[in-house]
Chain A
Amino acid sequence: MPITTAYEAKIEHISILDAKGNFDEKLGGVGSKCIIPDADIVKLYAAMVSCRQLDDVAFRLQRSGRMGTYPQNMGQEATSLGAAYALRKDDWMVTCYRENCGLFWRGVPKEAILLHWMGDERGNAMPKPHWVTPIYVPLGTQMLHAAGLTLAAKYRGEDRIACTFFGDGASSEGDFHEACNFAASLHIPVVFVCQNNFWAISTPSKINSAGLTFAQRGLSYGMPCMQCDGNDIFATVYTMQRAIEHARKTGTPCFVEMVTYRLGDHTTADDAKRYRDQEEVDAWKARDPIIRLRNYMVARKLWDDGKEAALQEQVEHENAEAVVRAEGIAAPTRGDFFNSMYAETPQDLLIQRDTMHTHSLGQDPSQLPPEAQARAAQLSAEATAAAAQH
């Protein structure tokens, strides 16, 4: 018997507005037929500019000791934003930690994100109507939750889908593969979005996959896969619209790779100069999603220097206000971390909480002789004073 082809596949790459400013009118549409109305183009641009400026603010907060480790989003604004724009407001967005732009589009308050990175869990107490999950620090774990959230919706007869984000690095984790397999074989409409930003801290994407694309990871699980220019807001919107339509119509998942680039360090604790060339970074700066869109808007006479100056002033003001709100939230009460462990705090934990500044763990002060009790009380007062200084 002759050898036949058992399987053959092709991955489409979608680009509409390229780095040189060429616009594909066939895909993107012209004028009133454009896939993004002019009024929205301006809004999307403003969202990216605002996110970029907040990155800068957060970086300076970290450097001046007002914030802990912070991962910048710089360069990747168009990925999550395109998805957030294309999704329905009641679809789930299940993100990692570099999707600020999309989260803000969904209405997540900026101070919530700031508060999280200021070391405060209350930043994660995001209002549920936004249909977003908390920031996930352990990489590659959230995609299974996206499948579960969508399965729950399906079970209840809702047509809500989920879009989940992860990086090129996270797609090496076992949970990622399990999520793809579960969603595809159990018919769960999840849109998997791989933000390929080329670097997992210092590890280049070629170490995370020897494949030519990350999009093809989805093929083996039997879902349609697409790749798009992640620095092109038109391409991310267009690709997500197709992916979402597929998911909602068929009730099955699909996979989108957005090719982008992490322009900044991995986090404020990282120094990317140690492991990558400035030339590479510069080449990607020329493909910046914000500059590209601004040039397009100027050429279309949707934008000018005056509007740009006004926008810069506006976002600086808005972001400064967000910092004021985040820093204005009173410090968590000491012992606050006991209160959300269980719906009903177990008795033993209540004792630990209520005595954390007054006696030793497991020690009942009444077991001490009277004079020692007085001394224990004095030590407790010192402990309370010392802890208050923390």
Chain B
Amino acid sequence: MANLNLVQAINLALIQEMEKNHDIVLLGEDIGVNGGVFRVTEGLQKRFGGNRVFDTPLAESGIIGLSIGMAMGGLHPVPEIQFEGFLGPAYDQICSHAARMRTRTRGAFTVPMTIRIPVGGGIHAPELHSDSPEAIYAHTPGLKVVMPSSPYDAKGLLVSALRDPDPVLFFEPKRIYRAIREEVPEDEYTLPIGKARTVCEGTDLTIVSWGASVVQCMQAIEKMSERDGCSIELIDLRTIYPFDMDAVAESVSKTGRCVVVHEAPLTCGFGSEIAARIMERCFLQLEAPVQRVAGFDTTMPYYKLELDYLPDAVRVSRAIHDCLAY
């Protein structure tokens, strides 16, 4: 066991899997000598050599297109897109090819690939360094979308992604890259893609969240249970697609109330899908409409106003209150 932050946990998962599986190859902008702009791939080029960890030209479509070919050719590439805002040029390769290759060829070609992407706001970054586009990719059939909220989960989920036969977008919330440390086993373990985690149990209301927002939810829960004595269950979805609707439905059937929290804009955010599924599966158990706490339907503002945009404990508390009072 070691006390690690998210960056270190991901680094450890990469090292351990690369030692086991020689088909894993890392590529991207500044991931080699520099170890990535967030140092997630620190030391890996030195350890595994330039054939397995290499810097590419500055071209995201190229990085993903090349990786798709590598995957079709039998490797498990791990391309890094430096910030989620740079996914734009790679969108065509991800959605037109990575997502479709298996079904297009009825399994003759597949794309086992783990795209690592720092995501989300809250770090005072420039434009296009703070967005949350997970719903766009969850909406694209053929892709798996993962977003851990803790070092332990990050390691277990990344190992699963690195062993997955299909393309996985592995979103790493940069706001909590170094904000949380916890015990992370050095021994091998995996966390299944598609399984949620119950962060804390409760009986009055269910919160569903993922990524850095989970931390905001925990703060809100602490405050609300202390002040109002309410008992709140928090579910960290961990993977956005496939998502663990059974865990959500079971919890909401028990509590009758649900608040979904995410950084991405409200409209067509993944909270919309969760709310619709709850309506389908828990209609008779619901005591109140599902509440959503999300980014607003605006472009993520430059950092002077980013904290006004991002869901925080105060907004989550208010939604909890409104949902309980309904």
Contact = CB atoms under 8 A, between A and B. Distances in A.
A363 B291 contact: yes
B301 interface: yes
A349 to B, nearest CB: 6
B152 to A, nearest CB: 27
B308 A335 contact: yes
Interface in B264-322: 266-267, 289, 291-294, 296-299, 301-309, 312, 314-315, 317-319, 321-322
Nearest to B129: A137
Contact of A367 (B86, B89, B326): B326
Contacts of B323: 360
B231 interface: no
A274 interface: yes
B268 to A, nearest CB: 13
A69 B318 contact: no
B190 interface: no
A214 B226 CA distance: 63
Interface in A3-26: none
A372 interface: yes
A208 interface: yes
B325 A337 contact: no
Contacts of B30: 201-203
Interface in B86-103: 86, 88-89
Most buried by A among B85, B86, B297, B304: B304
A203 to B, nearest CB: 5
A361 B293 contact: yes
Interface of B: 29-30, 32-35, 37, 55-62, 85-86, 88-89, 124-129, 266-267, 289, 291-294, 296-299, 301-309, 312, 314-315, 317-319, 321-323, 325-326
Contacts of B294: 361
A315 interface: no
A207 B305 contact: no
Nearest to B301: A337
A50 B299 CA distance: 34
Contacts of B128: 137-138
A383 B318 contact: yes
Given A173-B59, A274-B33, A360-B315, A372 B309 contact: no
A332 B297 contact: no
B296 A352 contact: yes
A119 B314 contact: no
A390 B308 contact: yes
Given A201-B29, A367-B326, A207 B57 contact: yes
B58 A119 contact: no
Contacts of B292: 361-362
Contacts of A332: 304-305
B319 A337 contact: no
A323 interface: no
B263 to A, nearest CB: 13
Contact of A337 (B305, B314, B315, B318): B305
Contacts of B289: 362-363
A268 B248 CA distance: 43
A119 B124 contact: yes
A317 interface: no
A106 to B, nearest CB: 22
Contacts of B56: 203, 207
